[in-house]
Amino acid sequence: MKSAQYANTCFGADLSTIDPDIDQIIKLEEERQARRLILIPSESYAPAAVRQALGSVFNNVYAEGYPPLRMTRDDERLLLDLSHQLAYYRRYADRRFYKGVDYVHFVETLAQRRCAACFANERVSAENIYVNVQPLSGAAANLAVYDALLEPGDTLMGLDLFQGGHLTHGSEFNVSGRRYKVVSYGVSRATERLDYDQIMDLAKEHRPKIIIAGYTSYSWAPDWRAFREIADAVGAYLMADIAHTAGMAVAGVYPNPVGIADVTTFTTHKTICGPRGAVIMTTDEDIASLIDMAVFPGLQGGPHPNKFAAMAVAFQIARMECFRDLQRQIVVNARALADALLKRGMRLAYGGTDTHLVLLDLKGVDTPTGFLLYGEPTARILDLCGIVVNRNTIPWDEITALGTGIRMGTPWITQRGLDEQDMDTLAGLIHRIVTNIHPFSYQGLAGELPRGKIDLDILEEVKCGVQALAEKASAETPARGSGYPHYCFLSTEAPVKTPVLVPAMANPEGGVEAAHTTAALLDDSDLGLLRVSGWRAEPFLQQVSTADVAALRPGHALRTFILDREGALLDDVAIIRRQPDERGRDNYLVLTNPANSERIKAWFRALSDGYVLFDNDDVFRKVEGPAMVEDLDEDVEEYERQVAFAVYGPQAETILRKAIPQLPPLTPRAVWQGDIEGAEVTVARLGYQAGAPHFEFIVPAGQASVIWRLIADAGAVEATSPDTRHALRREVGLPDYDGDVRPTGLELYRNGFAAWFDLTTPYFVGQDSILKEVTLATDKARWEWEEPEGPPRHTPLYDKHRELGAKIIPFAGWEMPVWYTSVSEEHQAVRQAAGLFDVAHMGVLEVSGEYATHFLDAVTTNYVRWLEDGQSQYTYLLTPEGKVIDDLIVYRRRADLYVLVVNAANAEKDWAWLNAVNSGGVVIDLDVPARSVEGKAVLRNLKDPAAGADQRVDIALQGPAALSILQCLTSDPRQRDALARVRRTDLIEMDLAGMNLIIARTGYTGEDIGYEILVHPDEATRLWDLLMVHGAPFGIKPAGLAARDSTRIEAGLPLYGHELAGPYDINPLEAGFPGYVKFHKPFFVGRRAMIEAAAQRSREVIRFRLNETGARALRGGETVVNRRGQYIGRVTSCTLIGATQMGMALVDRRYTEPGSAIAIYPAPPRRRRPSAKPPAELEPGDKVVLPEWATILTRFPEEEGEKDKIATKRFFPAHE
C-alpha cells in the first residue's frame, strides 16, 4: 500500500541513510568539539544520556499547559509510582490543552522535583521551591519574570551590559530595555568590583521594582545578602540570574540564592551541562502562579517535552558526587588559568575570578603597530588556532563591536579532564598569540573595524600546541582525523615526499644525459600538487606570485616564484590554469618543490584566511581571497588523487606523438587536457626556460603507472627523478632547497630570472623589497586635464522642460531645469510621493572585457570584486596624489560588464582619465611610475551615438511612491513582483512598455525607495511622459536641480566641488565616507596618499541646522566658529528645508559632536558693508555682522532617526 511507503522508508532508518549530508555535518561538529579547546563560558558538553533523552519520542508530543497541580507537589518517589499517578490522571485529568500527555507529566514533574532537590538548602526545603521548566531559553525566562511582576514603564535595575550584564537586564536592543525603565549599576573604578554602598544609593534614588543580580561576564560571585538588604530597603523584588553559575551553586562552590532571592532563573545548558533550556524558581507560591501564567499562555505556546526529559536526566546527574567534583575543578581551573595569565604579565578585567570565567583585558597589551588590540580580531585568530573564545566588553568600553575583553570559561575543558597544569600550558599558548598580534583598523560604513595579523610560524606553532592539548583531553566521540578544509597544520617534521612511480636507479647521470640527447622520463610524484580554486583564485595567485597570473588564459601555464614578506624565496612553482568549474570559479593547479610543499600549502591557506603578516611595510593590505587550497594527494577522495611526472629532452615530442597520438603539438606554456587510456590527463609544456622541451603530466594516481609505462615503452629513458631534476635545475640556476640559505627575489631578478617577474603589476607579496632596489624604465607621463570649452548642451528632455515652464539655468556645461514650481514643493514631493528628475546630463560609461574587474579595482577606491551581478557600489576616482577626480556609482551587469554613472561636471574628465590609464600612458603610482593596471579593459561612452542601440541616459524617479509608479508600466505580475524584489542598491534589466531599461534602486536624494533608470535617449521623452501620467494619482512632480540639491544636503550626501574636492580639496575620508575607501586592497590609484591622509586627518564634514527661521540665506565659504568664537571651518553647502536652513560645513574634527552649538558669520551684502571698527569705537549708524547660531546634527539622518525615510546610510551597499 502506498500509505505504508513512508513508514517503510523512514521509520527506523538511520540518519546516514535518510540524509547523509546532515549526518556528515553532525560528525564534523562532533569532531570540532573534540579537537578544539572550547572556552565559551556559556557552553558545556551534554552527556550522551542527556542527548538520548532530548532525542526521544517526547519530541512528537504537544503539551500546552501544565501537569496536574497534585503531581507538581508530590515527591520523586511518589511521582515514580506509575500506577498511582495514572489512576489519578485518568480520573481527574490535568491542566493541558491536549490529550495524549500521560507520560509528559512524569518527565516535567520529575525535572521540577529534581531541580528543587538540587537547590534545596538550609533556608528552604525542596517541597517549598516552585519550579517552572518550560522557558525555552534564559532570555525567555527573564522576560517571563518581568511580565509577571512588572508593568510597562516600571523600573528594573541590573548590571551595566558593558560590565557584565545580560541583554535581558535592560539592553536598549532588547524588549526589556524598550518596555521598562532601566537603571544600571556598575563596578567601582577603583577596584573593578561591585560596590554595594553605591548600588544601595542608586536603588534609593530610582526605587526599582526589580533588582537583578547575576551576570554573564563579571567574574566574582555576588553577595546575595547585600542585594537582599538593598531590595528590602526600596521594596523591590530581588531576582537572581544564575544562568552561568547554576551548576556551581548546586555543588556548593558558588553561593546559592534560593531562599534569599524572590525569584531565581538559570539555564540548563551552561554549568548544569544539560539541554538548551531554562528554569524559573521561587519560594513564593503566589509569585509562582504569576510566573506560570506569564510563561504560558503569556509568552510561549507549546513547550518541548523532550527537553523536560533531558532536564530530568541532567538534574539526576547534578546530584552525583562526580558532578560536584566537576564543579569544584571548574573553579580551580579558572583560578589557575587566571594566575597563569597574570604570571605572564597579562591584565585581567575585574582583577581575577572566583567563578568559572576569566576576562582578559587587551588594553594592557603592548602592540607592534601602536593600534589598540580589540577582542574581535583576537578571538578570530585564537579560533584559527583551535582556542574558542568570545570577544566581550569590559569596564570602560563604550562600543560593543570595539570590546577590548576576551571572555574565557573553564566548564567544557574541565569536563574533558584538563587540570591546573594544563591551564598553565593553555595560558602560555594564549599569551603567545595575544602578544604577537599586529592590530590595525579599517573604517567601515558603521564605524571602526578592528583587525589583526600574526606571523605564520607563530600561528602554526600554537595550532600544534592546541592540538596536542586537545588530544590529551577526553572526548566522548573520538576525532575522525579530518584534514583540510576542516583542519590543517604546517608540520616542520613531516618527511619530504619521495617518488613512487619508478625505483631509484644506480646511474643517475644517465637521466641527465637522456634529458640532453633523447628524452628522460622523470618521476615527479614527489612534487606537491595543489588545486587553487574559487571566484577570487585569479587575483589571489596574482598577488602571491611574481609573474602575471592575470594574463594566464585557461589552457596555459607559467613558472613563477613565491616570496615571503621579507622578499626571500619560498619556492619556485608551476601554475597551470584549467577551465573554470560549472559555477564559473577559477581553477588552477600549482606544482611545488618537495622541500617546500608543506610551507607553500600553509602559506596559501593562511593568506586566504587573511590573518597572517605578508608585508613588512603595510599591515593594511590583504591578499585577495578567499581561495580553496586543496592538496591533490591528501585532501581529496581517492579517485581524485593526482600525481605528476615529466618528459624532458629534444626527442620528447617525437616520443610523445608515438606513445599518445591524440596529444596535439604544444607550444611553450600551452596546456592540453584529454583522455589517455581512460584517464583524464593534463599535459603542460612547461620548461624552466622559454621553449625548453619539458612536458609535465598531471594524471590520476591510480592510472599513473599505466601512462608512465606507455611513454617508457615508446623510448623515454626512466630516470632517478630527484637527482636528474636537481641537475637540470642547477643548470639554469634554480636552487635545490637543501639548506637554510635561499636567494632573495631581488637576487633571482638580477640573475637571469627577470622573465619570471612582472614588477609593473599592481602588487605581489615581496614586490616592494625588489622595487626599493630596482628602478624600472618608463615613458609614462603625468596626467593633466584642462576643462574644455563649448556651447551649452541639452539633454533629450530639454524641450519637455521648456514645455513644463521650468526655470532653466546653465550647469556644468548643460542647460538644465533648476525648478518647475518651487524648491520646497518639489522637495516635499520627493519625501512624500515621488519626484522625477532629468539626470541625463550625467555621464554613462561602460567598462567591459576580461580585465574589466581588474581595471576598476585599480582605478576606484571601493572593492569591485564584492559585487555580484545586479549589484552596485559607490566609489571614487583619485589621482596618484590622492586628489578626487570624481565620485561615481559602479553597476555590475555581468562579471565582465559594468556601467559607471559619473557626475556631469566631470564626465569628460573621467572619460579622459580612464582611457589614459587603460592605454598605459600615464603614471598611476608616484612611487613606481612604471606601474600599470593588469591587461586592458574595453571602454565605451554610452552617451555617444556610436554606442548605437546600447546608448543610455539617466532618469531618476525618487520617493516613497516610486515603486508603485514603476509597476504601473507593466501589467505582468511577474515583472511587478521582480521590481518589488529589487533590493537597495541592486539593479534589474527588463523591458517595460516596449523599452529596454536598466533600473537601479539607487539615487542621490537619500530616499529608501528611489530608482535611476538608464534608457536609450530616443526613448527618454516617452519614458518621462509615461511616468508622469501613471504617477499623477500618486502625486508625482517633476523636480529640478534645486530639489536634488536640497534633498542630498538633508541626507548629508556630498556634492563634487562642495563636500568633495573643490576649493578646500576635501577627500572622501573628510567627507564622511571612509568606508568606501578600501585600504585592504593591495593597490588602487591614490592609495598611499589616502593612507597618509587618514593618519593626518584633522577636518571633517558636518551637517548643521540653523536654530532660528528667517535668517539670510547662507552661502558656501562662510565662516564657522565654535561656541567660544574660535574659527573652526567653512560652510560648503546650505539650503532652505521647510522654514529652516540646513547645510554642511568642513570643520576642525575636534568640534563635530552632534548637539554642539556653532555660529556662522554670513558674508554681508556688498552695498551694506559693516563697520570694521572695534566694538569700543562704534558710533550711531555703524553696523556689525552678527552670527547665525546653529546646531550640529548627526552626520547622517538615519543615525538620529531624524527622518525614517531618509536612508542615507543604506544608500550604498555595506560589504564589510
Q: Is there a single domain that holds both residue 1038 and residue 1145?
A: no
Residue 499, pLDDT > 80, answer: no
Query: What's the CATH number where 971 sits?
Result: 3.30.1360.120
Instruction: Quote the CA–CA distance of 332 and 1158 in Å, as a whole number.
Output: 58
Q: Are residues 616 and 555 located together in one domain of the fold?
A: yes
Q: Is 276 a catalytic residue?
A: yes
Average pLDDT (473-491) is 91
241 given a catalytic annotation: yes
The answer to whether 707 touches 677, Cβ cutoff 8 Å, is: yes
Residue range 985-1024, pLDDT digits in tens:
999 999 999 999 999 999 999 999 999 999 999 999 999 9
The C-alpha angle with vertex 869 and arms to 865 and 875, in degrees rounded to 5, equals: 50
Beta bridge partners, 902, equal 843, 888
* Candidates 27, 51, 62, 1022; catalytic one: 62
Domain boundary among 713, 748, 783: 748
Calculated CA dihedral for residues 1024, 1025, 1026, 1027, nearest 10 degrees:
50
pLDDT at 1170: 72
Please confirm, yes or no, whether 62 is among the known catalytic residues. yes
How confident is the model at residue 1203, as a pLDDT? 42
Q: Which CATH number covers residue 1167? A: 2.40.30.110
**Average pLDDT of the residues in 889-897:** 98
Q: What is the mean pLDDT of residues 907-914?
A: 98
pLDDT band at 4 (very low <50, low <70, confident <90, very high): confident
Lowest-pLDDT range of 345-349, 690-694, 970-974, 1193-1197: 690-694
Q: Are strands 642-648 and 520-522 parallel, antiparallel or unpaired?
A: antiparallel
What confidence score (pLDDT) does residue 1164 get?
A: 78
pLDDT recorded at residue 1200:
56
Number of domains within the chain: 6
Mean pLDDT of 609-626: 98
Residue ending a domain, choose from 733, 748, 763: 748
Q: Does residue 492 sit within a domain?
A: no
Q: Does residue 314 belong to any structural domain of this protein?
A: no
The reported pLDDT for the residue numbered 635 is: 82
Mean pLDDT for the chain overall? 94
**Residue 996: its H or E element:** strand 995-1000
Q: SS3 for 1065-1103, per residue?
A: CECCCCCCCHHHCCCCCCCCCCHHHHHHHHHCCCEEEEE
Q: The C-alpha cell of 1066 is what?
A: 576635501
Best CA proximity match to 296, nearest among 159, 450, 95:
95
Confidence of residue 1166 (pLDDT cuts 50, 70, 90): low
Contact 1142, 1135 (CB under 8 A): yes
For residue 601, indicate whether it is catalytic. no
Structural domain includes residue 75: no
Is 50 exceeded by the pLDDT of residue 1037? yes
Residue among 70, 276, 585, 940 flagged as catalytic: 276
Q: Tell me the C-alpha distance between 937 and 933, whole Å.
A: 10
pLDDT given at position 1206: 46
Confidence of residue 1167 (pLDDT cuts 50, 70, 90): low
CA distance 905 to 843: 9
Determine which helix (DSSP H) or strand (DSSP E) holds 322, and give its type and residue range: helix 321-343
Per DSSP, the three-state class of 913 is helix
Is 350 among the catalytic positions? Answer: no
| Same domain membership, residue 1035 and residue 1180 | no
Please check whether residues 873 and 742 belong to one and the same domain: no
Dist. CA 509–CA 523, nearest whole Å: 15
Q: Is the pLDDT of residue 1211 over 70?
A: no
Lowest mean pLDDT among 251-265, 707-721, 814-828: 707-721
Confidence (pLDDT) at 1213: 36
Of 94, 108, 241, 954, which is the active-site residue?
Answer: 241
β-strands 237-241, 263-267 pairing: parallel
Cα dist from 247 to 52, 390, 552, whole Å: 21, 21, 61
CATH of the domain at 369: 3.90.1150.10
Residue where a domain stops, chosen among 302, 318, 333: 302
For residues 443 and 380, membership in a common domain is answered with yes
The type of residue at 1158 is I
Confidence at residue 1177, expressed as pLDDT on a 0 to 100 scale: 82
**Angle at which helices 420-434 and 321-343 cross, to 10°:** 40
With respect to residue 485, please indicate whether it lies within any of the assigned structural domains: no
Contact 1029, 970 (CB under 8 A): no
- In angstroms, the first-to-last Cα distance of the chain is 55
Is 972 catalytic? The answer is no
Place of cell 541626507: 1051
| Domain annotation covers residue 512 | yes
Per-residue pLDDT tens over the stretch 943-991 = 999 999 999 999 999 999 999 999 999 999 999 999 999 999 999 999 9
Flag whether pLDDT at 1168 surpasses 70. Answer: no
In a domain, 982, yes or no: yes
Could you say which of 23, 30, 64, 825 is catalytic? 64
* 465 and 552 in a common domain: no
Share of the chain above pLDDT 70, in %: 97
Q: Are 792 and 814 in contact (CB under 8 A)?
A: yes
CATH of the domain at 265: 3.40.640.10
Strand pairing partners for 957?
836, 1011
pLDDT (tens digit, 9 = 90+) per residue, 652-672? Answer: 999 999 999 999 999 999 999
Mean pLDDT of 807-811: 95
Give the domain range for residue 706: 508-748
- Whole-model pTM: value is 0.94
pLDDT at 494: 62
Question: Do 514 and 462 reside in the same domain of the chain?
Answer: no
Which CA distances in Å does 362 have to 6, 51, 392, 595? 57, 37, 10, 39
C-alpha span between 105 and 89 (Å, rounded):
9
pLDDT digits (tens, 9 = 90+) for 521-579: 999 999 999 999 999 999 999 999 999 999 999 999 999 999 999 999 999 999 999 99
Q: Which among 35, 36, 209, 270 is annotated as catalytic?
A: 270
3-state secondary structure of 1156: coil
The grid coordinates listed for 305 are 517535552
Whether residue 1047 has pLDDT greater than 70 = yes
Which tens digit of pLDDT belongs to each residue from 750-769?
Answer: 999 999 999 999 999 999 99
Same domain, 1169 and 1034: no
- Could you tell me the CA-to-CA distances from 975 to 834, 960, 983, 989 in Å, in that order? 21, 19, 15, 10
Is 808 found in the same domain as 892? Answer: yes
| Among the listed residues 525, 505, 559, the one whose alpha carbon sits nearest the alpha carbon of residue 646 | 525
What confidence score (pLDDT) does residue 497 get?
A: 73
Identify the pLDDT of residue 503.
57
Please tell me whether residues 806 and 862 are part of one structural domain.
yes
Distance CA 927, CA 771 (A): 9
1002 and 912 share one domain: yes
C-alpha span between 341 and 348 (Å, rounded): 8
What tens digit of pLDDT does each residue of 269-279 get? 999 999 999 99
Report residue 1182's pLDDT band, with 50, 70 and 90 as the boundaries.
confident
Q: Distances in Å between the alpha carbon of 739 and those of 727, 736, 742?
A: 16, 8, 8
Q: What is the per-residue burial (b if ≥16 Cβ within 10 Å, else e) of 840-863?
A: bbbbbbbbbbbbbbbbbbbbbbbb
Q: Of the candidates 1107, 1024, 514, 972, which has an alpha carbon nearest to the alpha carbon of residue 820? A: 1024
Confidence band for 1204, pLDDT divided at 50, 70 and 90: very low
pLDDT recorded at residue 721: 66
CA gap 246, 461 in Å, rounded: 37
> Does residue 698 sit in the same domain as residue 843?
no
Is 288 contained in some domain? yes
Tell me the per-residue pLDDT of 913-930, one tens digit each, with 9 for 90 and over: 999 999 999 999 999 999
Mean per-residue pLDDT for 1098-1108?
Answer: 97
Task: With respect to residue 99, please indicate whether it lies within any of the assigned structural domains.
Answer: no
pLDDT digits 0-9 by tens, 84-143 = 999 999 898 888 888 999 999 999 999 999 999 999 999 999 999 999 999 999 999 999
Cβ distance 887 to 1058 under 8 Å?
A: no
Give the phi and the psi of residue 909 in degrees, each rounded to 5: -65, -45
- Reply yes or no on whether the pLDDT at 1207 is more than 90: no
**Does residue 505 carry a pLDDT above 50?**
no
Of 1049, 872, 1044, nearest in space to 958 by CA: 1044
The distance from CA 30 to its chain's CA centroid, rounded to whole angstroms, is 26
Catalytic residue from among 155, 245, 264, 267: 267
- Distance CA(1031)–CA(1025), nearest Å, equals 10
How many CA within 13 A on the CB side of residue 760? Answer: 17
For residue 1212, the model assigns a pLDDT of 40
Give the residue ranges of DSSP H helices in 172-284. 175-179, 196-206, 224-234, 246-251
